[in-house]
Structure 1
Amino acid sequence: MDETERRVLHKTETLTPMLLAMMLLSLLSVIVVLTLAFAKLNPETRYLLFIIDTSICIIFLTHFFYGFFKSYNKTDYLKHHWIDLVASIPAVEAFRFARLFQILRVIRLIRMTRSLLVPLVTQRNQTTLAGLLVAMVTILTLSSVFMLIVENGVPGANIITAEDAIWWAIVTISTVGYGDYYPITPLGHVIGALVIICGVSFFGVISGYMASILIAPGDHEQLEAYGNEMRNDFEDYCLRVEETQNKLLAEISALKDIIEQRDPSQNQSDKLP
């Protein structure tokens, strides 16, 4: 990548935690599409993966239109992100593989910035939100698919449809535990226990994130306060410099007056060698 291409890419798009989250969701979606295309699945599991892929497409469309309405130059935004809109269309398998271009674009941005830590550290609130989004989608996807595969076809099981698996995953990760759907196999119990642990950790992070928003000021407010403080210090420094300069000019003027008021004969003697 030459210098001109770097400048153009940096001008049109910068690496953000939410963009990294979209890349990870794109990777998850591509795995789902490949599973639908090549794996031998029962109808309920296939329908469940279709629902998951459609939900991810809704997230992609929301992110696309958010960036579109937020951008100043909408024509330039469409020029550089039209592939994201095409890849976000659900129920069209040919368009789903276009999400690979989004992954490649993010990889190019990572190569340009040379570090993942810079956007993750400087934008901590967005990093937390993006991490929560990826974690929630990943946990719901894996738990519902694995639970449906494990429980489906077992005598006495009550998680037998895609809707049952999704509802069980949502209720379990939220630690509500209605008890209307539950696993009966040993492997299902293990999956349920892991989901409960992830759910407790997940909502613990959400509680900490909400507390940081309500109690601590945001990054923008901190930067604005720091900028105002630096501006005030600079103004005070300029005032002190100006005051010192005025004092020096006054002393120079006073010395000049003293020299001019001296006796002319004394001035003449001072000029002799």
Structure 2
Amino acid sequence: MIDKKHWSLKTLNGPSPFELAIMVLSLFSVFIVIMLTFSKIDPETRRVLLFIDTSICLVFMSRFFYELFKAPSKKFYLKHHWIDFVASIPAIEALRIARVFQILRVVRLIRATRTLIIPLLRQSKQTTLAGLLVAMVLILAAASVLILLVETGAEGANIQTAEQAIWWALVTISTVGYGDFYPVSTVGHIIGAIVIISGVSFFGVISGYMASVFVAPDINEREERSESNKQDIKSALEQALERMEQNQQQMEKNQRQMLDEIAILKQQLIDKN
């Protein structure tokens, strides 16, 4: 019972960076489902969208089992998050609309949170990782779809299938550039240039993040050390005050003993006289 209360209170503190990332990916995947259901698109573009949606489902599934493993009460987690598992199944297209519930859950958490920026800044590592995850998925998805739409039918084009479009987007954003697939149209060149610039920026952020992991301590770690130092100082002050109080009591005791001895000596002098 205590674990359940702890879990629910933790959830009400506000959405974590990864929960916000899942919300964005859920919104994007719902858009993909709508495109696949209601739009008239060519077969290769449909395959690209299915590949992207399946990759997002794998991200959802991985997060679900990770959170299930971390949950103090597995039964409580399954009871309140079973819809996440249903929405993560990539093979059944009708169940993918269940991701709307993931969006609604995070929106509810955002409304329950008075401020969102401060919690994200306090969790800088998670915010960076979540941002990189969302950026990578969105850039790869947009680049794959756009390059396939632009290059299909162009004279001398060599990017004609979903696999070729996704492979080109991967090698371009990583700035490897094998050269086996490349755009031939002007618009394709512009898309490629944007993807290359995004890739350079993307890996620049990764390099900065790795440097911060190994060099700069996290804000939470600094706060924990500061809190620990405060506790040490407080404990030292309490011990010092306790010693001072003991010394004062000893001095008062010695003073009483001296006064008693003086009184005895005075009485002895009076008796002699």
Whether TM exceeds 0.5 here: the answer is yes
Partner of 1:195: 195
After TM superposition, give the deviation of residue 111 of structure 1 in Å.
1.1
SS in 1 for 2:115: coil
Letter in 1 for 2:73: N
Would you say the 8 A contact 2:12–2:112 is kept in 1?
A: no
- Cα distance in 1 for residues equivalent to 2:48 and 2:59: 17
User: What is the RMSD of the two structures over their aligned residues, measured on CA atoms?
Assistant: 2.1
After TM superposition, give the deviation of residue 224 of structure 1 in Å.
4.0
Partner of 2:98: 98
Partner of 2:241: 241
After TM superposition, give the deviation of residue 199 of structure 1 in Å.
0.5
Partner of 1:125: 125
Q: Which moved more, 1:217-226 or 1:147-156?
A: 217-226
Letter in 2 for 1:39: S
After TM superposition, give the deviation of residue 9 of structure 1 in Å.
4.4
Partner of 1:41: 41
Letter in 2 for 1:34: I
Unaligned runs of 5+ residues in structure 1 are 1-5, 268-273
- Check 1:24–1:59 CA distance in 2 against 1; reply closer, same or farther (3 A cut): same
**What does 1:46-125 align with in structure 2 at a 5 Å threshold?**
46-125=46-125
Partner of 2:9: 10
* 1:226-263 C-alpha deviation (Å, 9 max, x unpaired): 34322321221122111111121122212322333344
Partner of 2:145: 145
SS in 2 for 1:89: coil
SS in 1 for 2:55: helix
Would you say the 8 A contact 2:123–2:220 is kept in 1?
A: no
After TM superposition, give the deviation of residue 180 of structure 1 in Å.
1.1
SS in 1 for 2:76: helix
**What does 1:179-190 align with in structure 2 at a 5 Å threshold?**
179-190=179-190
Residue 169 (str. 1) matches residue 169 (str. 2): yes
Would you say the 8 A contact 2:124–2:218 is kept in 1?
A: no
Q: Which moved more, 1:43-52 or 1:250-259?
A: 250-259
Letter in 1 for 2:9: H
Q: Which moved more, 1:17-26 or 1:248-257?
A: 248-257
- Cα distance in 1 for residues equivalent to 2:66 and 2:12: 14
- Check 1:121–1:200 CA distance in 2 against 1; reply closer, same or farther (3 A cut): same
Partner of 1:271: none
Letter in 2 for 1:156: G
The TM-score, its normalising length taken from structure 2, stands at 0.90
- Cα distance in 1 for residues equivalent to 2:234 and 2:94: 59
Letter in 2 for 1:205: V
Identical aligned pairs, as a percentage? 53
After TM superposition, give the deviation of residue 7 of structure 1 in Å.
9.2
Residue 28 (str. 1) matches residue 52 (str. 2): no
Partner of 2:222: 222
Letter in 2 for 1:54: T
